[in-house]
Amino acid sequence: MKLYNFYIRYRLQIGIISLILAVASNLFFGFWPSLALYIIAVLSIFTHFFIGPLRIIQEYLEEGDFDGAEKVLNGIKYPGLLYKPIRSVYYTLKGNIAMTKQDFDSAEKHMKKSLDLGLPMKEAEGANKLQLGMMAMQKGNMKEGESLIRQAIRLGIPDKESSAMAYLQMCQIMMQKREFRAAKDFFKKAKAQKPTTTQVVDQIKQIEKYISRMPG
């Protein structure tokens, strides 16, 4: 696995070196002895630009190393050459990392690019729209935020923590609109996700203190 990751990280350099060796071998020994080197060179250079190093980025994210993931992402100099679904994931990851830095303008820009390209799974699109909805809410754009969060819920959100967050946000929106029955329904759905994240659990506890006293 480490060897494969090494190959992915230095795929372009390996491709260029293989091409140089292939040309030299071709000049001295002929085409057929150099064929394998030509194949390695073409495949390495092509996959470097067409697929990119997303496997390595995913490993950094799983370890919580956002700086390492960002460094690898910044090494992709020509994202326009990436295969379209991978390019969409690239912009989603850029948006997620911008979110961790609270750079909401950059996060929104990258998320919208990802949506325009189309995400490979509906759940991924749902997670993307949830984040855009949360950012819209932070900017005070309630109408757009509600619309995006509703779309995210319809599309499906891949994890229970994010689903609970979406339902809680909808609960708060309904409370502000004084649609108390809908607020209670969204609150029940949020609790049904059984979230464990401290932030979400604390939010549920705060709302639970007075939601039972609301009419409807």
Q: One digit per residue, pLDDT tens: the chain, 216 residues?
A: 678 888 999 999 999 999 999 999 999 999 999 999 999 999 999 999 999 998 898 888 778 788 898 999 999 999 999 999 999 989 988 998 888 888 888 999 999 999 888 876 677 888 889 999 999 998 889 999 999 999 999 999 888 888 999 999 999 999 999 999 999 999 999 999 998 888 889 999 999 888 888 876
The fold for domain 52-155 equals: 1.25.40
Rounded distance between C-alpha atoms, residue 196 and residue 199, angstroms: 9
- What distance in Å separates the CA atoms of residue 124 and residue 47, rounded to the nearest whole number? 24
- Each as own residue / partner, the long-range contacts of residues 138-146 (CB below 8 Å, 24 or more positions apart, any chain) are 138/104, 139/104, 142/173, 142/176, 145/169, 145/173, 146/170, 146/173
Region label for 47, one of left (φ > 0), alpha (ψ between -120 and 50) or beta (otherwise)? alpha
166 in Cβ contact with 186 (< 8 Å): no
Q: In one letter, which amino acid is 114? A: S
pTM of the model: 0.77
All structural domains of the chain with their residue ranges: 1-50, 52-155, 159-216
